[in-house]
Chains A and B, each alone.
Chain A
């Protein structure tokens, strides 16, 4: 049984009490200790900057050309914080409760409460860094609401909140680089973890420009390398997001927790063809004002699919606002997993609205009219025509979501002010990740995992605007304290020689792996294998899963992997700038990780959050959890034949487990 190391005491005091008891490292000793941080997204940049400020010697790595490019930058909607600035009854407890409930009771109470506490400090920190959040006319911070909750606690910077927060963290990191406390390594990809006497003491990287394999040593290693959504090939992740750093750690004994928990985001631009390289998200914030619907009559849907009819031409009474119908209490703002499955149900019934039949409408006409009327009143304009009201309304909607509407127009060539958007669910986020305890330390001593890279706070489903919150909480306000639990015992440990035997061995393993791939000299590209892997994942481990499919999917991945090692072709050499080689290395790790996801999804014979098992549904077709048998974290030890399951029981002391209802 795994020990989560949740401190004792009342939930609201655990973190405060624990913080004051964590062993400290004195400033003179901090200078002697080295920490490696891999990744420069919100979690990594925040951690590297904060640890540098504390006086540790930090070495920070990214495979991008600059630390400002990490995919946190693409987060659109916002960041949650329990500030209760809206005076609508929000509190730390309520954010804690919403997050546990939203995660379908598969996250740890202790961690989530700490996250809710830290949320408040994050906003303060970001404002101080100069993040230009949206403001009211009085000059104070503005909030909006997001899916799965009934308060307005989301802070935002138009549709570019992730960008602004990342720039804030990047600037804090840049300041430390300038001061010399952080040594930055751009274009370096971690391809091995190095253990010395069972503790994480370094990494092996590939210099993506020169191909050089290099060792870097430290007293501890912090991974903030994001999620594995790209295992599906098509996702809203950036092209280079990958599981390699985490998976290389798993191959060294780290446990991968709940890998089957993936989030399918309901509002993405639908797939348009086979060549497609990625999917684009339309922020969840759009569901504040957009109404989701499909035609009530199947013949209308078919006419739309064939391009003979347009959404705007369908009469109000012939539209089925299925989220409002099925979930009257939350309506269009149900959590992501619920909204995604509901869309799938409608499309499976044949009511989809794109040429592929895989899309539903997201309609702003009602909001545009409503805003137009309010604006007319505000400006004291009466007797306006409907067109004039709509014009006013479009301006309000443009101020709120302008960049998203533009993006939609650019990609699809359709004007969402005039015609309803077409959307469909797509892979967006992975709740699973490296198993960590309360200190964010994996089962490998000295190896920590932050942000999307770990599994800890979102259970089986993440609420909107909570990823930014978690990444920054982990980086700014958790790891600077909890890393002391490990490093306080290392103050007399001398620096490690990156030419030591453990490093030499790890370098050799990395070089051998690269050579193996280059030597296959087959006929298929890494990209084509990745596409095929993604298709298997989506078909058998996507929005709905069942035993037969998961078993079949697992076998298909194993067969694909065998084919990969027989017929892969990687052009070029090891010692040069070689993006095809980078891809091949990442796809190789995705294959094994994908297999583990199938294993995990098969083992968890219940439906919870984003994990929907067709064998486990209520009479109304809603997801049916099984708390008696599955109220645990599934942490997997990898084995090429049969991965081994370790369990951590989830204990709920403060929140009563109930069926998650948004009706």
Chain B
């Protein structure tokens, strides 16, 4: 057990700082460029230097570095310190890229990975449907293979929902029922890549309770995609989609994000007055802050342990299945404590996320947003099933038995 920064790491931190001092914020002619272009150039350089996209092979636009959570932590700290851009955000990076790297055909990796990593193309996710939420494998959007004018292609009909930022996306990775006669519902699904910019597709943003529009409904009416835009074989879509979850679960991001949010809560407690003193001086608030700190640090050390073990090919056990629920629970706890610190501002509607000049009521976005987290990407109740069944070997629920 050794969490110390050896000289090697202090040297590394110096290198990162020197790199940032030179490249961010942009200088000279580049200072006049649009933010998007500045970020894109910076990301390219930071990737060449080995600081970003570390788990992605060089030939697909990454920097192909050995996993090292301490280095990754130093990069995150130093980049955040000067507000330099990290990797491109979005589900294309989180889900599609690891999926293609693991299951994609060579041409798919070449055509899509580097452009996704660079931010040139952006992806929407086509998983959930109005009648297929937690029971995702019951999905009904159909794909039919026909011989079209431009060769064999899939004709897609149906509807997807909860597609994150699909209104800005160029492409979608989607689960589609292509084998209606397959023996099980899971075996009938394929993983297709679809160009969203075509006449057969309508994207309609959904307004959520925070007032933001992060999700969309996507309607398919004889939409088309070439036959070879399939990842894995026909009927293997379910398996392909699961391959990504493995990567998600081993990510340390959730715990670090929980800690960052906790630090913001501490700031709130420091600057919010309560009975003539900062809220952080109130014994009740202090007690709850330490309770939260216990959860946050547990989560962080748990992620260190998981990464250390994974790096040595050891199995950390059922805890790997708990990360999402742990992050969700911490998010709820932080939201509740923020609620009690902001007092009357709980009654004020927040500006949409990302809008400037927000007061304490912006914590209402966390108060509501924590509910979104509890639902998205496998609800907390689904997580509990997974933990109990896969983590502790309890028998499957009768209703989901026949999968």
* Chains A and B belong together in one complex: no
**Contact residues of B with A, CB < 8 Å?**
none
**Contact residues of A with B, CB < 8 Å?**
none
